[in-house]
């Protein structure tokens, strides 16, 4: 065991597209803080979210297991109207990532979005976090802080609070101050910094008056956006992350801090997702492939890029491995420790990844360079290595491979909880035009 355990800063952004960062191809606006982070660590080109929408990815991240193993992982997504359902939340006492780290002596906090069940039955303080400041539900108004229940949704612990400010800046400022204070303590820290940005509503300082109006009108919550406003939101997000990273670098133990950055799913309508197609709610690459960066000075060489195929739960396993914390056998991880690849002590390795969604009966498998996809009653087979845009369906040319991947998915699916009988949710999605 190492003499000291590393601090861990885990940053999750909301609905950020693969190419929304300068280091992944964005040219319309700068993201200097995240580009610097990539230069100080390792950037992933084939990182996948375990789901194409939010709650479900958060279930997998906090448990290290496919979300379909828990009832909350079957709803897509968790809404305010589900708050009274007895199983629609992260079960208190489940061995979550923060709970396991806290048991090993870590100080734990969540600053930002929870979206894993509503009070009084569920909440961050019931699932391993010592402290919480942020949003319980799936979104919030950036200025009004009105959430999906139509009321203010900002909490300190389990107490509703009123604060003035743009929520992205509020989360960044709180996180930077928390890191500075935590770094001075003797115990290591684990901070989950889960931004609501760049999820709608499309609110930014240049359109503050109009944004405030939209945030108070349910029918207009998803309206009024454009690529310029989205870029402004991303720049505010990047600047805030930069302030938090500066607090990490300047504090004691800054060089022994593992920083992880990722998104909960692929991008929304104004995101850059090149070279992929599809969006949030799709099991196309654009709905699943996410920007991902890890930094750990002295362990991860700077300026590296990896093609390692990985999925959200692998980050859970990697954090536990970095902290030298065992999971136990009652709930084995579906994630795989990536530290050997990150540190350069092992070569990249093949992964087989699985997905399913209620919307349009979608299912998918990624194995090696191949991807099996089913949308409603139509099956596809893509050579992702040479066809990342998923334009050339090879299902008729490779029927044996198609059948093999289909059988692999079916075997995996038998180990998951069954989907509810009302499996197909009526979701409006612009990328349906692709089919």
| Of 97, 94, 126, 57, nearest in space to 330 by CA | 94
Q: What is the arithmetic mean of pLDDT over 139-155?
A: 95
pLDDT of residue 76: 87
pLDDT of residue 252: 86
Beta strands per DSSP E along 174-230 = 189-194
Single pTM value for the model: 0.96
Q: Can you tell me whether residue 32 is helix, strand or coil?
A: helix
Note whether 112 and 395 are within 8 A (CB). Answer: no
Q: What is the pLDDT of residues 231-265, one digit of tens each?
A: 999 999 999 999 999 999 998 888 999 999 999 99
At residue 430 the predicted structure's pLDDT band, cuts being 50, 70 and 90, is: very low
Band the pLDDT of 431: cuts 50, 70, 90: very low
Q: How confident is the model at residue 428 (pLDDT cuts 50, 70, 90)?
A: very low
**DSSP 8-state symbol, 229:** H
Those residues whose C-beta lies under 8 Å from the C-beta of residue 68, and which sit 6 or more positions away, are 74, 356, 416, 417
**Domain map (residue ranges) of the chain:** 7-349, 353-434
Same fold? 7-349, 353-434:
no
What confidence score (pLDDT) does residue 149 get? 87
CB 312 within 8 A of CB 58: no
Contact status, residue 337 vs residue 321, Cβ threshold 8 Å: yes
Exposure string of 383-402, with b = 16+ CB inside 10 Å and e = fewer, is ebeeebbbeebebeeeeeeb
Query: What pLDDT score was predicted for residue 86?
Result: 77
**3-class state of residue 326 by DSSP:** coil
Q: In 3-state terms, what secondary structure has residue 72?
A: helix
In 10 A of CB 421, how many CB atoms?
5
Judge whether 317 and 337 are in contact, CB under 8 Å.
Answer: yes
Task: Write the pLDDT tens digit of every residue in 175-227.
Answer: 999 999 998 899 999 999 999 999 999 999 999 999 999 999 988 889 999 99
* Residue 222 CA, distance from chain mean position: 20
7-349 CATH, one of 3.30.420.40, 3.40.720.10, 3.30.465.10, 1.10.10.10 = 3.40.720.10
Report whether 224 contacts 156 (CB < 8 A): no
User: In this prediction, what percent of the chain has a pLDDT beyond 90?
Assistant: 86
Would you state the structure tokens that stand for residue 31, as one six-digit string?
Answer: 């993201």
At residue 2, the pLDDT reads 55
At the second CATH level, the architecture of 353-434 is 2-Layer Sandwich (3.30)
Q: Would you give the end-to-end CA distance of the chain in angstroms? A: 52
pLDDT the model gives residue 423: 53
Most distant CA atoms of the chain, gap in Å: 61
CB atoms within 10 A of CB 3: 4
Whether the upstream peptide bond of residue 275 has omega within 30° of 0, thus cis, is yes
| Residue in 223, 119, 235, 110 with CA at minimum distance from that of residue 168 | 235
C-alpha 418/C-alpha 140 separation (Å) is: 31
């Amino acid at each position: 065991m190492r003499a000291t355990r590393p601090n861990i800063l885990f940053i999750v952004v909301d609905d950020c597209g693969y190419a929304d960062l300068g280091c992944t191809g964005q040219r319309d606006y700068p993201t200097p803080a995240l580009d610097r982070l990539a230069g100080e660590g390792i950037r992933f080109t084939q990182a996948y979210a375990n789901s194409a929408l939010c709650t479900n990815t958060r279930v997998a991240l906090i448990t290290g297991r496919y979300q379909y193993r828990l009832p909350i992982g079957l709803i897509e997504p968790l809404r305010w109207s589900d708050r009274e359902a007895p199983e629609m939340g992260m079960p208190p006492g489940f061995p979550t990532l923060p709970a396991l780290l806290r048991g090993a002596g870590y100080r734990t906090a969540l600053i930002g979005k929870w979206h894993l069940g509503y009070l009084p039955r569920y909440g961050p303080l019931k699932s391993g976090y010592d402290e919480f400041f942020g949003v319980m539900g799936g979104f919030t108004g950036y200025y009004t802080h009105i959430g999906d229940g139509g009321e203010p949704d900002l909490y300190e612990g389990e107490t509703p609070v009123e604060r003035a400010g743009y929520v992205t800046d509020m989360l960044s400022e709180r996180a930077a101050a928390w890191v500075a204070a935590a770094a001075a303590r003797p115990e290591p820290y684990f901070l989950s910094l889960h931004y609501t940005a760049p999820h709608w509503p499309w609110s930014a300082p240049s359109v503050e008056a109009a944004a405030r109006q939209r945030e108070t009108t349910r029918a207009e919550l998803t309206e009024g956006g454009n690529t310029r406003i989205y870029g402004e939101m991303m720049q505010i997000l990047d600047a805030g992350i930069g302030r938090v990273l500066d607090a990490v670098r300047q504090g004691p133990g800054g060089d022994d801090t593992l920083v992880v950055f990722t998104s909960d799913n692929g991008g929304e309508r104004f995101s850059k997702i090149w070279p992929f197609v599809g969006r949030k709610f799709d099991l196309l690459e654009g709905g699943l492939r996410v920007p991902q960066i890890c930094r750990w000075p002295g362990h991860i060489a700077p300026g590296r890029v990896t093609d390692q195929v990985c999925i959200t739960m692998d980050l859970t396993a990697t954090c536990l491995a970095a902290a030298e914390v065992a999971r136990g056998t009652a709930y084995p991880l579906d994630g795989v420790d990536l530290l050997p690849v990150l540190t350069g002590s092992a070569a990249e390795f093949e992964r087989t990844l699985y997905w399913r969604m209620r919307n349009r009966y979608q299912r998918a498998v990624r194995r090696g360079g191949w991807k099996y996809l089913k949308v409603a009653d139509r099956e596809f087979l893509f050579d992702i290595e040479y066809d990342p845009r998923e334009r050339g369906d090879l299902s008729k040319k490779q029927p044996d491979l198609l059948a093999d991947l289909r059988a692999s998915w079916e075997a995996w699916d038998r180990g998951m909880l069954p989907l509810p009988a009302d499996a197909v949710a009526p979701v409006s999605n612009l990328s349906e035009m692709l089919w």
